[in-house]
Amino acid sequence: MSASGFAAGSAYAQAPVYPTKAIRMVIALAPGGGVDTTGRFIAQKLNEAWGQPVVTENRPGAGGSIAADLVARAAPDGYTVLMTSAGITITPSLMKLSYDPYKDLLPVTMAVVSPGVLVVHPSLPVKDVKGLIAFAKARPGELFYSSSGQGSAQHLTVELFSQMAGIKMTHVPYKGTAPSILDAVAGRVALTVASVISTRPMFTTGKLRALAVVGPKRTPALPEYPTIAESGVPGFGVENWYALFLPGGTNKAIAVRIQEAVSRMLSEPGTSKLLLGQGLDAVGNSQDEFARLYAQEISRWAKVVKTVGLGAN
């Protein structure tokens, strides 16, 4: 056996037997939403694969930091798992946390992406992103856009778009995504960014006009729509993902075991189609890849938050 093969074999031999008992999955958002339904779906599949119960528990609040703190303080043995959204990379810049987002959480995998889309009211005389940018540049601050709240992913996504496009628009925060979309439909605001699943009924019936998806690549949910990056803002791309984390200090072999199980589950026949029907793109990337992305996203949003003038008191 080669030296590298012996080292790999030794690492495998030292990996703990896992799982041998029930796993607790703490879901950072309220029941019924995309993070919750995805988390419960993954829990069911892991239960079937491993023969061990995966018990879900919703702990919403404070931008997901309540659930994150609970998991960060749990024993690093692999039996407490966090299911949360990409908002976890924004909260470190918006509030003082009781946990260290780098040391106290171990990224496992980005399970799925909930693709977002930039939509405008049909009365706006623009047909694409370039047209929107030109229109906004001629009227600095006159275009109003809605979001689900100050410092929300929607808010910061549009702010990042505005910064990169060199335009100025006015933010109107709402208490939730639904009212922010409804006021875009009513024409009280000119545009918004929201998930494909929540906006598709509006733009397929002409109540809104979809211009582009906000992710770094096109989505199978809307293959005919370009990205914002393709449409005049090179380098732009924001993904709202749902992902799994473990307490910091957990044996990385356990994180890899969970990641591999989730990745296999997502590649099963019918799973991608099922998720696509819910407006979700299956991912299941590697633990190392997701860990790098997680750190990059925290850094990126910290810069946007600072530019907007928000931040922890």
- Is-contact 269 50, C-beta < 8 A? no
Domains 15-114+240-308 and 116-213 share a fold: yes
Query: Does the structure show a pLDDT above 60 at 56?
Result: yes
In this predicted structure, what is the pLDDT of residue 8? 44
Return the domain boundaries, the chain.
15-114+240-308, 116-213
Tokens of 225: 């729509």
pLDDT in tens, 62-82: 989 999 999 999 999 999 999
Mean pLDDT of the chain: 93
- State both tokens at 8: 């790999």
Query: What's the CA gap between 197 and 187, in Å, rounded?
Result: 20
Statement: the pTM of the whole predicted model exceeds 0.85:
yes
CATH class of 15-114+240-308: alpha beta
Q: Work out the average pLDDT over 144-169.
A: 96
- Dist. CA 214–CA 12, nearest whole Å: 40
pLDDT tens track for 95-131: 999 999 999 999 999 999 999 999 999 999 999 999 9
**H or E element: which one contains 110?**
strand 105-114
- Architecture of the domain made up of 116-213: 3-Layer(aba) Sandwich (3.40)
Residues whose CB is less than 8 angstroms from the CB of residue 41 and which lie 6 or more positions away in sequence, other chains included: none
- Predicted confidence (pLDDT) per residue in 24-52, tens digit: 999 999 999 899 999 999 999 999 999 99
What percent of the chain is predicted at pLDDT more than 70?
95
